[in-house]
């Protein structure tokens, strides 16, 4: 799903690990959450039931517009419609760090993923180039686009080594025309 912020920026919710999305848990629900965690630690037969209940507790989502910093919270009492909030002053809004309140608690040390994909034939929804390397990490890195396969693959392994050494990825994959060329960690 996606929606437009008041400022015009379109907020997309079509992937996992979004840096501008979070989940809210009501203070009134914390006892239930701890009870469920306790239950998970013991032997129990209703594992699915427990997961479903945790999921219910974490249903309420929150987004922050990366451009203007507006906050949107789902209203569980009203079909999870989004309610928007704006910062109190332009000074607050100008601070870059105020516009990324939903980053992982681990900040730049958050361990993300590296994806890369190449397509000889580009479907309509594909980007303007044949190959794209997408580092999903909390350090500043641009998506990298290529039209030459060898350059694409070479750069992928460079980025992979760099992120692995920095210890900020838990997985990496390289695909070409639908086939997996490389995955890390390898299959056991
Ligand atoms: Zn906005």
| Segment 137-159, tens digit of pLDDT | 999 887 799 999 999 999 999 99
DSSP state of 132: E
Of 55, 77, 99, the one marking the end of a domain is 99
Q: Which residues surround ligand 1, an ion (CB under 5 A)?
A: 5, 7, 9, 65, 67-68, 70
The count of structural domains within the chain is: 2
Instruction: To the nearest 10°, report the CA torsion of 6, 10, 14, 18.
Output: -70
The predicted-structure confidence for 115-136, as pLDDT tens digits, reads as follows: 999 999 988 887 789 999 999 9
Residues 95 and 111 in one domain: no
Residues 46 and 82 in one domain: yes
Residues 85 and 163 in one domain: no
Residues 91 and 121 in one domain: no
Rounded Cα distance, 117 and 86, in Å: 37
What local confidence, expressed as pLDDT, does residue 178 receive? Answer: 92
Å from CA of 87 to ligand 1 middle: 11
* 126 vs 11, more confident: 11
Q: How many Å separate Cα 17 from the centre of its chain?
A: 2
Å from CA of 93 to ligand 1 middle: 11
Residues 19 and 95 in one domain: yes
**pLDDT of 165 above 90:** yes
**pLDDT of 46 above 80:** no
Structural domain for 173, as ranges:
107-184
The pTM of this model reads 0.80
Å from CA of 86 to ligand 1 middle: 9
Residues 94 and 8 in one domain: yes
Residues 141 and 169 in one domain: yes
Residues 8 and 57 in one domain: yes
Question: Considering only CA atoms, which of 134, 166, 131 is closest in space to residue 150?
Answer: 131
What local confidence, expressed as pLDDT, does residue 106 receive? Answer: 94
């Amino acid at each position: 799903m996606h929606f437009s912020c008041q400022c015009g920026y379109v907020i997309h919710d079509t992937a996992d690990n979004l840096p501008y999305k979070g989940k809210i848990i009501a203070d009134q629900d914390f006892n239930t959450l701890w009870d469920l965690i306790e239950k998970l630690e013991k032997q129990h037969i209703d594992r699915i039931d427990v997961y479903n209940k945790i999921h219910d507790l974490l249903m309420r989502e929150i987004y922050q517009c990366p451009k203007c910093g507006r906050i949107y919270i789902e209203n569980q009492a009203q079909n999870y419609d989004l309610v928007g909030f704006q910062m109190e002053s332009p000074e607050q809004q100008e601070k870059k760090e105020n516009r990324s309140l939903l980053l992982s608690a681990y900040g730049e040390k958050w361990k993300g993923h590296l994806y890369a994909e190449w397509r000889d034939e580009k479907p309509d929804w594909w980007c303007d180039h044949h190959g794209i390397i997408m580092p999903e990490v909390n350090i500043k890195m641009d998506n990298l686009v290529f039209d030459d396969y060898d350059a694409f693959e070479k750069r992928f392994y460079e980025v992979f080594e760099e992120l692995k050494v920095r210890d900020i990825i838990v997985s990496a994959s390289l695909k070409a025309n639908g086939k997996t060329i490389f995955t890390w960690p390898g299959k056991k």
